[in-house]
Amino acid sequence: MAYTRYKRAYTGGDYWPGFVDAMATMLLVVTFLLSLFMLAQYFVQLESSGKDTALQRLNRQIQQLTQLLALEKGSNKSIQDELATLTASLSDLGSENARLQGMIDLGTKKADQAGAEASKLTSDLEGEKKISSEALAQVEILNQQLLALRRQIGALERALEASEAQDEASKKKIADLGRRLNVALAKKVEELSRFRSDFFGRLRKLLANRKDVRVVGDRFVFQAEVLFPSGSADMNPEGLATLAPLADAIKTLEGKIPGEIEWVLRVDGHTDIRPISTAEFPSNWELSSARALSVVRFLISRGVSPKHLVAAGFGEFQPLDKGATEESLRRNRRIELKLTTR
């Protein structure tokens, strides 16, 4: 209508009013669109605000549910722990119940036994009433026997005391006899030492000029070559002549030493390390023993008592000289005489 009005008023090509009308119409449209946009924006903001509120509410609910879940888990753990504790307690209670039941059963058995024993005692008591007089008599007899037994025990105790006193006296006597025996033995040893000294002194005088006879400690040592041929146990004439004065000295010694002194003259045979193997002497043991026996037999033939002579063979195992020279071997081939106790 406005456009028609302007068209009627202005004819002849004036477009300005139409332009203004078009601009106004466009402005109205733009305003309308802006209003619609603002209205839509409002509703969008309103909707968005509602969603934010709902989201916050949901977040709060989720947080609450999370807290509730944590509490539930803690409660569940506590319940599980409590359940385990209750299970263990239940097991312990079962064991205790079984133990108590066993005790009850044992008590029941003992009660039954006690009842049976009570019944038996009751019956026994009834029987004892009948034999009370006999029991009293037996008790009197037992008291008399007990008194007699105590008297016997007293007598035995006195006898034991006397025996202990006698034993103590015997011990003192034994100790005194031991001391006296030691003194006597020491005296005998001293006497034998004195006779040994006299015997050795006489032998030294008899054999003073013999270089082949030596004194080694408490022994006289004769070289084997003086008495025996090589490899033989038969004494040669020189050996017989050497041992004859020795036999006389031993017989003189026998007359001087008291008979209670047990002494012997030990004759020891020794060889060197060179082995011997003959039909007569399979080894040096046999040769050394045979030579010692030859000396013993000669002394017996000269009147020396056999009970005072001992023959021993040592073979090559007790050398005087460890060397292997001819002189060392000669020194080891020997006969030794030693006066000693039996």
Please give the structure tokens belonging to residue 321.
């000289």
Which is more confidently placed, 285 or 118? Answer: 285
pLDDT tens figures, 244-273: 988 988 898 888 888 777 889 999 999 999
Closest CA to 84 of 74, 76, 95: 76
pLDDT for the residue numbered 6: 46
Q: Which residues, other chains included, contact 319 with Cβ-Cβ below 8 Å and sequence gap of 6+?
A: 270, 272, 273, 328, 332
Helix (H, G, I), strand (E, B) or coil at 231: coil
Mean per-residue pLDDT, 308-327: 95
Domains for the chain: give ranges and CATH numbers.
207-341 (3.30.1330.60)
Closest CA to 314 of 291, 334, 285: 285
**Distance (Å, rounded) from C-alpha 292 to C-alpha 217?**
20
Please state whether beta strands 309-313 and 263-270 pair in parallel, antiparallel, or not at all (unpaired): parallel
Helix (H, G, I), strand (E, B) or coil at 335: strand
pLDDT tens figures, 10-64: 444 566 777 777 788 888 888 888 777 787 777 777 766 666 776 777 777 777 7
**Distance (Å, rounded) from C-alpha 136 to C-alpha 151?**
23
Helices of type H across the chain: 2-9, 16-206, 224-227, 237-256, 284-301, 326-332
Mean per-residue pLDDT, 148-171: 75
Average per-residue pLDDT for the chain: 77
Q: Which of 125-139, 274-288, 305-319 has the weakest average pLDDT?
A: 125-139
Which is more confidently placed, 231 or 166? Answer: 231
pTM: 0.46
Which is more confidently placed, 138 or 114? Answer: 138
Please give the structure tokens belonging to residue 106.
């044992």
